[in-house]
Amino acid sequence: MTEENGLLRQLETIQAEALQALETAGDESSLQVWRTAHLGRSAPVMRIFSRLSEVSKEERPLVGQQANQVKQALEAAFEISSKAVKGAALQQSLSSEKLDVTLPGRPAPYGRLHPATQTLREIYAVLGDMGFQVYRARDVETDEYNFELLNIPAHHPARDMWDTFHMTTPGVLLRTHTSPGQIRAMRQYHPDPIRVILPGMCYRYEQVSARSEIQFNQVEMLVVGRNITFGDLKGTLTDFARRMFGENARTRLRPSYFPFTEPSAEMDVECFVCGGKGCQICKGSGWLEILGCGMVHPTVLKNGGYDPTVYSGFAAGMGPERVAILRHKIEDIRYFWGNDVRFLEQF
């Protein structure tokens, strides 16, 4: 008998014995044992492949083809038996186990509004009650709208106040503040009076720390009309602070500088954590800075299409994250963007 005939007979025997053994495998564990014994690396059919070198070159393809056919037949038989065993196990489970469909299911976890979103919505509601409309402006701006038309010409030292993300296209950048929306709103509504808020994301190329981030929300207020005075600005901001922080909230204005407003100021509200007595949040001063403001600069009014000899206006900008930090005693602004569920679930 040639070596070829001997291996072919062995393959027939291997297939017959394996299929006979498969008939007795009635559960998942025994099927896995059968698979290891008859299809594993040390299985008889796999050892045939290692003996192909004993066969002549002319007969080797025939033996190899037969070995592959036996292996494929065993794999197909295993799949059929596996499906049958799983189906039988499922039927057994359905018939023996009882399921009470009237029982309540597992409660689905509910999402929550982000603390910054909560503060934004509250600001929208307060300013909406005061007659302001929301005006959306673009995040990607031009140097002209972000600086030039806001009375910040090229090479002006005031540009150092904003660390800018410049795009590869010359003159295009990520807005550093929501103030470019002032020009767009004025040019759209001219010559009508304006009373809008400009919410949106701002971007600055700053070192990320507990107090500064490269992106943050901002809400800007803009009012333009005839005979708008600094008294109107103070009254509006005082009313806003009382609606936002309580009827007894006290405010103060401090002189400041912004290129697009003149005069300019910053507004503080009495610390709502310690009631003005002095604490870590207000650094012992009893006051918390919440926004910058001022009368719209005549140059900005002119660039927006309004005659500064006839029209006047005021603007103010605040950071919702800063308000949330002060309200909830949040120590690190990076928590707002960390997506830590333990932090978010507190709100």
Q: What is the pLDDT of residues 93-112, one digit of tens each?
A: 777 777 777 888 888 878 78
Over residues 131-139, mean pLDDT: 94
SS3 224: strand
The model's confidence at residue 1, banded by pLDDT at 50, 70 and 90, is very low
Q: Which residue has the higher pLDDT, 180 or 76?
A: 180
Q: Between residues 196 and 80, which one has the greater pLDDT? A: 196
Indicate whether 2 pLDDT > 60.
Answer: no
Task: Decide which of 43 and 256 is more confident.
Answer: 256
Give yes or no: residues 338 and 252 share one domain.
Answer: yes
Residue of 7 and 102 predicted with greater confidence: 102
Q: What type of residue is 311? A: Y
Per-residue pLDDT at 291: 92
Q: Which pLDDT value is given to residue 23?
A: 81
d(CA 208, CA 286): 27
SS3 289: strand
Q: Of the spans 17-21, 27-31, 234-238, 321-325, which averages the highest pLDDT?
A: 234-238
Is the same domain home to 37 and 166?
no
CATH of the domain at 157: 3.30.930.10
Q: Is residue 104 part of a domain?
A: no
Is the same domain home to 136 and 251? yes
What is the count of structural domains for the chain? 2
Q: Which amino acid, 328?
A: H
Are 160 and 63 in a shared domain? no
Which one has a higher pLDDT value, 236 or 64?
Answer: 236
**Closest by CA position to 139, among listed 208, 215, 250:** 215
Q: How confident is the model at residue 37 (pLDDT cuts 50, 70, 90)?
A: confident
Report the range out of 59-68, 265-274, 278-287, 297-306 with the highest average pLDDT: 297-306
Total residues belonging to the chain? 347
Q: Which one is predicted more confidently, 286 or 150?
A: 150
Q: Are residues 193 and 268 in the same domain?
A: yes
pLDDT greater at residue 246 or residue 161: 246
